[in-house]
């Protein structure tokens, strides 16, 4: 009969649709899943950069995202959608918002808009160390970090430790998003490094309170809570475990011949 024929076609359509459902929580693909994490779509153009770094909290990673929107985006962790939390709003020197979200170490991947962050397996430990990656010459066309960043991205490292001095260019305007984007975010994103590993960022002398890019450091990369307009001469020391290592992270960025920060660090360690 006519209605039976339509009923069979409807069942066939449902079966075909079900075959495309995967681990993204009932959507045909993970990109579609991410776009349906909220009542409205997440515009890709609003999210400029995103990465995962170590958290000071035990057994957690910290997802960071830079967005043009004052509202933080939703991300997909396995089959769950969670909204990121605002870390820092836009300002005169930094015309974007910074969002963050703690992620359990066992999560294999994170989707944010069209970007998938693959979290490396800790047992397969390959650790890379980099520092002084900003361009400090007058001719940045011969600057090596874009090339080195591509090499690092191809290593599939479990962890990248950045020892500081993310920003070198800019002169008096170095403590700005434009300088940070040119010196680190853009080349690290273009190479794929920003999305295929986990970072441990440390502070260098280029991020000091005295004339350094300290605003950019505390706003975007410090693992500690962000406080608007506050610059600690020596940031608190902390311990972190990852990739089979127990690491003590301390801030020696302010160390100079006439300024010794070891006493401040020693006193802090004595209280642990």
Give the tens place of pLDDT for each residue, 150-186: 999 999 899 999 999 998 887 767 889 999 999 999 9
**Angle at CA of residue 44, ends 41 and 47, nearest 5°:** 110
The pLDDT of residue 252: 84
Structure confidence by residue, pLDDT tens digits, 116-136: 887 777 666 889 999 999 988
pLDDT band at 112 (very low <50, low <70, confident <90, very high): confident
**pLDDT value, residue 258:** 56
Q: Which residue has the higher pLDDT, 151 or 32?
A: 151
pLDDT digits (tens, 9 = 90+) for 183-221: 999 999 999 999 989 999 999 988 988 878 999 999 999
**Sequential DSSP letters for the chain:** -HHHHHHHHHHHHHHHHHHT--TTTSSSSHHHHHHTSSSSPPPGGGEEEEEEEE-SSTTEEEEEEEESSSSPPEEEETTEEEE-EEEE---SS--SEEEEEEEETT--EEEETTEEEE---TTS--EEEE---S--SS-GGG-SHHHHHHHHHTTT-SEEEE-S------GGG-SSHHHHIIIIIHHHHHTTGGGSS-EEE---GGG-TTTSSHHHIIIII-SSPP-TT---SSPPPEEEEETTEEEEE---TT-BTTB--HHHHHHHHHT-
Cβ contact 249:237 at 8 Å: yes
d(CA 68, CA 108): 27
Residue that wins the pLDDT comparison between 48 and 105: 48
Q: What integer pLDDT is reported at residue 137 of this predicted model? A: 73
Average pLDDT over residues 37-57: 73
**Among 40-44, 153-157, 175-179, 241-245, the least confident range:** 40-44
Altogether, the residues listed in the chain come to a count of: 272
Minimum mean pLDDT range among 43-52, 96-105, 194-203: 43-52
pLDDT of residue 17 exceeding 70, the answer is: no
Question: What pTM did the predictor assign?
Answer: 0.80
All residues at 6 or more sequence positions from 99 whose CB lies less than 8 Å from its CB, including other chains: 64, 65, 66, 67, 72, 73, 84, 85, 86, 87
Give the pLDDT band of residue 271 (cuts 50, 70, 90): low
Token match 């890019």: residue? 213
Q: Which residues contact 138 (CB under 8 A, 6 or more apart)?
A: none
């Amino acid at each position: 009969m006519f209605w039976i024929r339509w009923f069979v076609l409807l069942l066939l359509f449902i079966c075909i649709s079900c075959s495309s459902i995967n681990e993204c929580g009932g959507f045909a693909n993970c990109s579609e899943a991410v776009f349906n994490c909220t009542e409205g779509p997440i515009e890709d153009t609003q999210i400029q950069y995103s990465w995962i770094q170590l958290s000071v909290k035990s057994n957690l990673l910290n997802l960071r995202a830079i967005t043009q929107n004052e509202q933080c985006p939703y991300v997909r962790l396995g089959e769950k959608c969670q909204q990121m939390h605002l870390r820092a709003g836009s300002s005169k020197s930094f015309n974007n918002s910074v969002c963050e979200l703690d992620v359990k170490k066992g999560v294999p991947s994170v989707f944010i808009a069209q970007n998938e962050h693959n979290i490396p397996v800790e047992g397969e430990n390959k650790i890379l160390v980099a520092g002084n990656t900003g361009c400090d010459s007058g001719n940045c066309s011969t600057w090596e970090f874009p090339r080195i960043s591509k090499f690092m991205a191809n290593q599939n490292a479990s962890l990248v430790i950045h020892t500081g001095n993310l920003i070198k260019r800019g002169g008096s305007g170095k403590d700005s998003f434009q300088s940070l984007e040119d010196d680190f975010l853009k080349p690290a994103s273009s190479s794929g490094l920003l999305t295929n590993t986990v970072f441990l960022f440390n502070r260098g002398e280029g991020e000091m309170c005295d004339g350094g890019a300290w605003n950019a450091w505390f706003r975007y990369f410090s693992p500690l809570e962000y406080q608007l307009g506050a610059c600690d001469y020596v940031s608190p020391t902390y311990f972190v475990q990852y990739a089979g290592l127990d690491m003590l992270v301390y801030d020696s960025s302010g160390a100079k011949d006439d300024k010794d920060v070891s006493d401040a660090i020693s006193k802090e360690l004595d209280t642990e």
